[in-house]
């Protein structure tokens, strides 16, 4: 009986949450028609120098006694005062961007807005650092992402790309645009190649007497198909398209890294950072943390992140998901005690 009572209570709570969400949804739907903001998100700016300073000060507070800490703070205050008075000590600006790529390069939307923003202020005396992580994906998606980075180079602003884990295929297409590529020793680099695979179940369908009609207008509108019967001519055309794309990929990499022996590295292989350095796929070995903490001593670091505004359905979905998950966790914890 206790179990039934707890279960009924759970259902009542869930029903209450659902009803509340429906009310909120109705209210928001009504407000959406009364005018929408044109902006799709908001640019967030974080001063990384303050972040590094806070880390250092917390460590100093934990290691030094009060007298030592007081003397150190006094010394630091004097140094900062001298730095403010010395106009010649104006620091260079470094704009830090992040790109965590999936197969569709979904982060491109945020990247394009971040680049548009920084190009309104950045000068050739500044620097852009991109922390890049991607194993590649769709050709057209990564082509657009790479084109966004090319805007930085075209503006004459130095671009440094830091790779901690992986920059392969479309990821390396983006990385090669950097004037300097810094790779962690065991990051995965390369995969300058093109791959496509299409399953075909035509023989299985024939076995069960199922016919599939594939109609096209244009000789090569459909080269390979999943359901229909593939032809040798179609396969040859499909391979030809892959070869053309690969050649364009190689030419793109060569444009930005002419020092490469492109035919030796454009085999689709990948190399770890140390081996990639020997093949001139990267310029230095090191982590993004190492590079940025060093630059923080010489420049002002600003991390840019364009946070896209989530749609109404996404926000309500996240709220509902959290409420249901919380309800189930609560129920299972009670059942555990009941047992």
Instruction: Indicate which residues carry an active-site annotation.
Output: 169, 221
Calculate the alpha carbon distances from 14 to 20, 97, 108, 327 in Å: 10, 41, 38, 7
Are 147 and 169 spatial neighbours (Cβ–Cβ below 8 Å)? no
Contacts of 197 (CB under 8 A, 6+ apart): none
Backbone angles phi, psi at 281, to 5 degrees: -70, -25
What secondary structure letter does DSSP report for 298?
Answer: T
Residue where the block lists tokens 């609560």: 330
Contacts of 150 (CB under 8 A, 6+ apart): 177
The Cα–Cα gap between 146 and 158 comes to 15
Backbone angles phi, psi at 24, to 5 degrees: -65, -40
The Cα–Cα gap between 320 and 14 comes to 10
Of 306, 303, 310, nearest to 112 by C-alpha is 306
Q: How far apart, in Å, do the first and last CA atoms of the chain sit? A: 13
């Amino acid at each position: 009986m206790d179990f039934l009572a707890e279960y009924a209570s759970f259902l009542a709570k869930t029903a209450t949450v659902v009803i509340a969400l429906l009310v909120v949804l109705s209210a928001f739907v009504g407000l959406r028609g009364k005018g929408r903001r044109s902006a799709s998100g908001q640019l967030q700016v974080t001063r990384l120098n303050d972040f590094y300073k806070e880390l250092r000060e917390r460590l100093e507070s934990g290691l030094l006694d009060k007298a030592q800490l007081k003397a150190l703070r006094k010394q630091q205050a004097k140094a900062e005062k001298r730095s403010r008075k010395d106009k010649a000590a104006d620091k260079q600006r470094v704009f830090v961007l992040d790109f965590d790529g999936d197969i569709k390069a979904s982060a491109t939307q945020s990247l394009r807005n971040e680049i548009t923003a920084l190009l309104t202020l950045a000068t050739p005396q500044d620097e852009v650092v991109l922390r890049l992580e991607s194993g590649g994906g769709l050709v057209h998606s990564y082509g657009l992402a790479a084109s966004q980075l090319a805007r930085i180079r075209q503006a004459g602003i130095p671009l440094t790309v830091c790779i901690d884990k992986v920059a392969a295929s479309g990821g390396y297409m983006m990385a090669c645009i950097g004037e300097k590529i810094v790779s962690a020793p065991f990051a995965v680099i390369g995969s300058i190649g093109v791959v496509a695979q299409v399953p075909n179940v035509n023989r299985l369908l024939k076995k069960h007497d199922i016919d599939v009609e594939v109609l096209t207008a244009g000789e090569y509108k459909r080269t390979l198909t999943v359901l229909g019967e593939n032809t040798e001519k179609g396969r040859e055309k499909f391979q030809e398209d892959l070869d053309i794309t690969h050649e364009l990929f190689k030419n793109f990499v060569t444009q930005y890294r002419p020092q490469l022996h492109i035919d030796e590295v454009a085999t689709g292989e990948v190399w770890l950072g140390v081996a990639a350095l020997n093949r001139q796929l990267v310029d230095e070995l090191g982590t993004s943390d190492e590079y940025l903490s060093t630059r923080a001593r010489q420049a002002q670091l600003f991390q840019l992140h364009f946070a896209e505004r989530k749609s109404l359905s996404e926000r309500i979905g996240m709220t509902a998901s959290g409420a249901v998950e919380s309800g189930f966790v609560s129920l299972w914890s009670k059942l555990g005690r009941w047992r």
